[in-house]
Homo-oligomer: A and B are copies of this chain.
């Protein structure tokens, strides 16, 4: 049933999850869709529609049980499972990602970091060893790898994609600022930082024009 859910809905689910987590931290046990709506700046009907895609979770006259909804959305997002990540590219961004302890709390574990720079060989980021790229095939054969994070330079990304796909990895978290050409059964999530910065500069320029 979940196959037809639009990507816009999927994009909003992590945001619900974050807000519900904050409510839980604040000790709030239940919330109406109207209150959630005000908090999140989304219409209440949007919230109901979004959640109805997955079966609802609300109770007429009661609203949502925060803990229950948080856990259910967590399951929808696959956060009740562990996802092993390898990071390819041990530069600053690779360091930043592997240090993101927040990810670990949600079941994302960095189990390997790879680079081509021999100067980095044998080093560690937190407790994860930096390995050389030629060790990657053996590593993937002997470890369960769910996600490859691409933090290498753009020029190397397509070659790395071919490699990880050939090794059977089915998901790529791509920071390499290039669109990867991938088989249908491999899923990719792109984080194009420069696109994001360009959207910001678009809005800056627009605002200045409108101010004139």
The quantity of this chain's copies bound in the complex is 2
Q: Could you list which residues of chain A lie within 8 angstroms of chain B, going by C-beta atoms?
A: 2-3, 10-11, 13-15, 17-18, 76-79, 81, 83, 91-93, 95-97, 99-100, 102-103, 106, 108, 146-147, 170-171, 173, 177, 185, 187, 189, 191-207, 209-210
- Bound-state CA distance A81–B205 (Å) is 9
- The answer to whether B103 touches A194 (Cβ under 8 A) is yes
Closest to A8 in B: B8
Overall SS of chain A's interface? helix
Cβ contacts under 8 Å, A99 to chain B: 91-92
- The answer to whether B78 touches A204 (Cβ under 8 A) is yes
Could you say which of A13, A196, A200, A206 has the most chain B C-beta atoms within 10 Å of its C-beta?
A200
- The answer to whether A200 touches B177 (Cβ under 8 A) is no
Q: A96-B92, A206-B3 are in contact. Are A171 and B200 (CB under 8 A)?
A: yes
Indicate which residue in B78, B201, B209 contacts A202 across the interface (CB closer than 8 Å). Answer: B78
Indicate which residue in B185, B199, B209 contacts A207 across the interface (CB closer than 8 Å). Answer: B185
